[in-house]
Amino acid sequence: MPSPLSIKRTQGVLPGFEARLGTLRTAHGSVETPVFMPVGTQGTVKTLEPRDLRELGVSTILGNTYHLMLRPGAETVAAAGGLHLFMGWNGPILTDSGGFQVFSLGKTRRIRDDGVEFASHVDGRRVFIGPVESMAVQRMLGSDVAMCFDECIPWPCTREYAEKSVAKTLSWAARCAEQPRAPGQLRFGIVQGGVWADLRRRCAEGLVEIGFDGYAVGGVSVGEPEDALLRGVEDGVAALPADRPRYLMGVGDRLQIVEAVARGIDMFDCVTPTRHARNGSAFVRSGSLQVKAGRFARDMRPVEEGCGCYCCRNFSRAYVRHLLNTREILGERLLTIHNIHVYMRFMEELRESIAQGVFDRFRARVRAELRGEAA
């Protein structure tokens, strides 16, 4: 099977790794990479409509299998003709496997050889999900990219547990690969292995042997130190085929995105821009702004000066602060629009810098702006 990713240009800024500019083909259109995918947990990117996403330049969104299988249920989404029709979004959708959420449930879940049994957070009923069930649900959702059901191990974790877990993730990946898929649906394997380079390599090699359309690096950004996070990315990427798309799951810090792109990652998702917005935090070029702060009470400047988003073109910090402080839904919505705009603009600039062969300068500028280093 040919790779769904066409790589248009690369630029190496770190020994052994290359930043890549590409196009990912999916059943619902092409995606320019590196791409950031906003998270639409329950069939909506919180506070936004599909027309907002389009206007903001969002190409791809993520849906959560765990949440959607519990509410409204995969059968309901299938009855609507799939998640695209159900939520009115006709662009590409990637669904996660549900693994990350069920493993996060702690005491209420029980890991078996064939999957995980857990208590639904909605009504407490016992539910089982494993590779077969996850693939079936993702098939019913009709996503463009389905993720393998894997075990996301916590940090810290013993080497012994990580070894067993990688074996389980690989055997589950093999089960996933046998399952039927929705028309045109791509399937990605997930590299686990915690902080051990050889386990990451073993996992990646095992997945490549099974053969997937693309590969994700999972189990990073789970509490480990930042250098371990980037080592996890390097260990995963080093063992993956260069022609296939690479997706770093759950990472949304802009500095980390740039560093991961420098190491050859093509795709990102994170709740950061949307969740922070709802908590009153606006991303700006140099970091973030706590808009609820008292010092903005009569600040008639936009959230970010020079920003072209609907929020900044029309409203002041004072107004947005007022909306947040009075718990008006519009406040959360306006900051979500702003934050997604900031992320989309950031990714556009990042892609443009690779296209122009100046990714090294972009990386230096971002580090200077966000970390305060000399550019």
Considering the complex, what minimum distance in angstroms separates the CB of residue 87 from a second copy?
6
DSSP 295: G
User: Residue 326, interface with a second copy (CB under 8 A)?
Assistant: yes
- List 144, 235, 269, 332, residue binding a second copy (CB under 8 A): 332
Residues 6+ apart with CB under 8 A from 172: 115, 130, 131, 148, 149, 150, 151
CA atoms within 13 A on the CB side of 215: 27
DSSP 181: -
Rounded alpha-carbon distances, angstroms, from residue 241 to 211, 212, 214: 10, 10, 9
Q: Closer to a second copy by CB, 49 or 114: give it.
A: 49
Considering the complex, what minimum distance in angstroms separates the CB of residue 2 from a second copy?
35
Q: Closer to a second copy by CB, 297 or 368: give it.
A: 297
Q: Is 269 a catalytic residue?
A: yes
User: Residue 137, interface with a second copy (CB under 8 A)?
Assistant: no
Considering the complex, what minimum distance in angstroms separates the CB of residue 311 from a second copy?
9
Three-point CA angle 72, 77, 79, nearest 5°: 120
Residues that bind a second copy (rule: CB under 8 A) add up to a total of: 38
Considering the complex, what minimum distance in angstroms separates the CB of residue 69 from a second copy?
13
DSSP 205: H
Beta-strand runs (E) in the chain? 5-14, 17-26, 29-33, 35-40, 61-63, 93-95, 109-112, 115-119, 126-129, 145-147, 186-191, 214-217, 246-248, 267-270, 281-284, 287-290
The alpha-carbon radius of gyration of the chain (Å, integer) is 20
Q: Closer to a second copy by CB, 293 or 300: give it.
A: 300
On whether the CB atoms of residues 360 and 10 are closer than 8 A, the answer is no
- List 12, 29, 88, 287, residue binding a second copy (CB under 8 A): 88
Whole-number Å distance between alpha carbons of 143 and 82: 8
Whole-number Å distance between alpha carbons of 375 and 367: 7
DSSP code string of 227-279: HHHHHHHHHHHHTS-TTS-EEETT---HHHHHHHHHTT--EEEESHHHHHHHT
**3-state SS track over 99-132:** HHHHHCCHHHEEEECCEEEEECCCCCCEEEECHH
- List 149, 247, 319, 362, residue binding a second copy (CB under 8 A): 319
User: Residue 365, interface with a second copy (CB under 8 A)?
Assistant: no
- List 16, 29, 54, 79, residue binding a second copy (CB under 8 A): 79
Type of residue numbered 122: V
Q: Which stretch binds a second copy (CB under 8 A): 76-84, 92-100, 176-184, 224-232?
A: 76-84
Q: Report 256-315 residues binding a second copy (CB under 8 A).
A: 297-298, 300, 310, 314-315
Q: Closer to a second copy by CB, 315 or 343: give it.
A: 315
Considering the complex, what minimum distance in angstroms separates the CB of residue 190 from a second copy?
26
User: Residue 333, interface with a second copy (CB under 8 A)?
Assistant: yes
Q: Report 46-65 residues binding a second copy (CB under 8 A).
A: 46-51
User: Residue 42, interface with a second copy (CB under 8 A)?
Assistant: yes
Q: Is 253 a catalytic residue?
A: no
- From the list 96, 144, 150, 266, the catalytic residue is 96
On whether the CB atoms of residues 182 and 139 are closer than 8 A, the answer is yes
Q: Closer to a second copy by CB, 30 or 41: give it.
A: 41
Q: Closer to a second copy by CB, 87 or 135: give it.
A: 87
Q: Which residues are catalytic?
A: 96, 269
- Which parts of this chain interact with a second copy (CB under 8 A)? 42-44, 46-51, 67, 71-72, 76, 79-80, 86-88, 297-298, 300, 310, 314-316, 318-319, 321-323, 325-326, 328-330, 332-334
